[in-house]
Structure 1
């Protein structure tokens, strides 16, 4: 926390605040001003011709007050009160009293500064009763005293307000820098999560295709040569595509880019037939139903990409957990109504067996997060007809 003028008690370990070069220069200047003003006040007061002992004692006390200014930051209020009380009978302390009043106005709250100012005005009333001015009337000297005290106090308050403003702006700058650092770290964290979801959605689909075709070759080593060659071709093509997808994702890590980067092609609804055909080549029975309206209108790229990922992850989950069942992918909606994507498959017949293709168990969770970030909603579960359904609704502006 930033302080306008930290007290020594606020220092680390309760130690003293270390003086800067500026502090030494200001203290020396204040000492010189206190000496000059004190001597001028002393010369004016001594025109009343007090006893020599009083004159000497006045100079001694004034010198002690000027020296005490070196500790004015440590005890500003205490020294100001003592100087105001002693100033009722000592003339040479006027300069030190003025510096201490200014110090209190700078370093302490408004109430404390006003109280010290009133004490100095009362001290002036008593002083000019003891040492009347030979040139001015008592009222004139009183007005001069009040004007001087008010001017010094207001000046000190102005300096304090300016310091508070500067420190407030500095604290806001520090806070803004901290918030900016947190936003950057948050953005990095979100980008890592987005890339992780992207890798899961893309690579899990490709690798599941590899696993299906490799499993077919393992269980049918005596298959005709044409079938083996076709399966090997699919494995090679899927592996090549997986490496290509991985290369694109790694490119995102190396060179930050936005979701709308045109240098990196993004999946759209037009690529869903190709995605369904890949699954058919892996032995799945996939039907694609297009019920979109809007005269061939295209949804926003982010919405289309999200819908593609929903279908891709759902087909991957069917290959993992419900192999051999039929899958129906339905697209509905249009501009203004939103885009609805539904993937429905029959539950596998017979006892549930462990999936031959390992999974992370977070596919549907990742889909839910992706859809929510796109401003939509997703639900999944078993329908009354005995089907497993994944349904997502995404906003499609008119």
Structure 2
């Protein structure tokens, strides 16, 4: 290697900041490297260290009796070029290491550059390349000490010292490389965790928006459909009796008032940012009676067949789902079969589940068109699925429409 085991050779190379690169192996050969202030400082330190170690080789040259002056000059020129090449060590770590290892065999002043090159190779390249260059340097060390023997120094001891120096340089470089890889992996893990957190937050916001949209549909569609049906009846029957017109106007007024109150409640949830179930209007099965009474007052003949287990309390979440199913079915019945009788059947108990059956007859005559989004039954199916149940719907054989749902009821 061109490094002699005397008192001048105890210095070891320093390290710089990791070179920005896509991987821990360092930059590819020939690719421009952008240095930061710390990189420039590290490269300058390595350059000074290579020069300092190389200058100690001059002592070895002076101790060689009969050494031609041309050889000494050539040695110093080679050492100067090797030290100057330290500035490209990041761009060409493998080529720099191989070149300096070869030059250091015959040029004592290139030994410092060879140490820096071996350290740089260990930092930026895989261990296979480091092992080959290190083995070559160790194999040529006896030749270096044979070409430039030093009186009073055993050649075996010099080779052992060279081996220790090579091992220490490679070990230090591998430690720096491992530390950089660890930092890179930690940064990548932090970036990935941040991205996943942002994705989960966006997904949570999307689910919250979908829940609020579903809630708005469930709450407002019932009110607005009732209002639309009675307003349409007044439009198509301007000669209706005064009492019937007054009743329809009262239903329109009450429905509009209730819809406004529900809309204010939901908007309040959006303003406060609290999208929990407790913050939104959440009816239970006990509120089903009021819903049916309201439908009857709106002109829908309605029959309730409730055959639930005696003394069993319906959980709030289950009752809320049942309420929404019946509410949507009544809304659809008013839209597509106004005035047709509707039958609501509730059966089941704890452990067996709760079944909901809502059926309406076919309309008696032509039905005025009522606008709709077509998302009501889709939302009911999603709601039943999320609750762990199932829902089916379709036309009845004798006319009309039927919706059946089964929902789990924990024992």
User: Given the alignment of the two structures, is residue 116 of structure 1 paired with residue 133 of structure 2, yes or no?
Assistant: yes
Note if 1:335 corresponds to 2:355. Answer: no
| 1:239-261 alpha-carbon deviations (Å, 9 max, x no partner) | 11000111111122222224332
Long gaps (5+) in structure 2: 1-20
Structure 1 CA distance, aligned partners of 2:145 and 2:310? 95
Q: Deviations over 1:334-356 (max 9, x none)?
A: 33333322212223457xx5652
Please report the TM-score for the alignment, with normalisation by the length of structure 2: 0.88
Q: Verify the 8 A CA contact 1:2 1:171 in the aligned structure 2.
A: no
Contact 1:378 1:391 (8 Å CA) reproduced: yes
Whether contact under 8 Å (2:232, 2:368) holds in the other structure is no
Structure 1: gaps spanning 5 or more residues: none
Residues 246-285 of structure 1 aligned to structure 2 (within 5 Å): 246-261=263-278, 263-285=279-301
Correspondence for 2:189: 172
Structure 1 position 7 matched with structure 2 position 24: no
Q: Which of residues 15, 21, 24 is equivalent to 2:37? A: 21
CA contact (8 A) 2:26 2:125 kept: no
- For the aligned residues, what is the CA RMSD? 2.2
Residue-by-residue CA offset, 1:131-171 (whole Å, 9 max, x unaligned): 23333322211111111111111211111111111111111
* Aligned residue among 387, 394, 398 for 2:407: 394
Please show how residues 138-177 of structure 1 align to structure 2 within 5 Å: 138-177=155-194
- The 2-side partners of 1:43 and 1:336 are apart by 95
Q: Which residue of 1 aligns with 2:86?
A: 69
CA contact (8 A) 2:33 2:90 kept: no
Q: Which moved more, 1:67-76 or 1:35-44?
A: 35-44
**Which of 378, 393, 403 does residue 380 from structure 1 map onto?**
393
Q: How does 1:1-398 map to 2 (within 5 A)?
A: 2-4=22-24, 6-7=26-27, 16-44=32-60, 46-49=62-65, 50-261=67-278, 263-293=279-309, 295-299=311-315, 301-348=316-363, 353=366, 355-383=368-396, 388-398=401-411
Question: What's the secondary structure of 2:273's corresponding residue?
Answer: coil
Contact 2:308 2:346 in 1 (8 A): yes
How many residue pairs align between the two structures?
390
C-alpha spacing 1:132/1:338, structure 2 compared with 1 (3 Å): farther
In structure 2, the CA distance between the partners of 1:46 and 1:347, relative to structure 1 (3 Å rule), is farther
Q: Secondary structure at the match of 1:306?
A: helix
CA distance in 2, matches of 1:322, 1:229: 22
> How far off its partner does 1:6 sit?
4.7
Deviates more, 1:263-272 or 1:61-70: 263-272
Other structure's SS at 2:139 match: helix
**Partner SS, residue 87 of structure 1:** helix
| Correspondence for 2:15 | none
Is the 2:120–2:173 Cα contact (8 Å) retained in structure 1? yes
Q: Residue 182 and residue 2 in structure 1: after superposition, are their counterparts in 2 closer, same or farther (change >3 A)?
A: farther
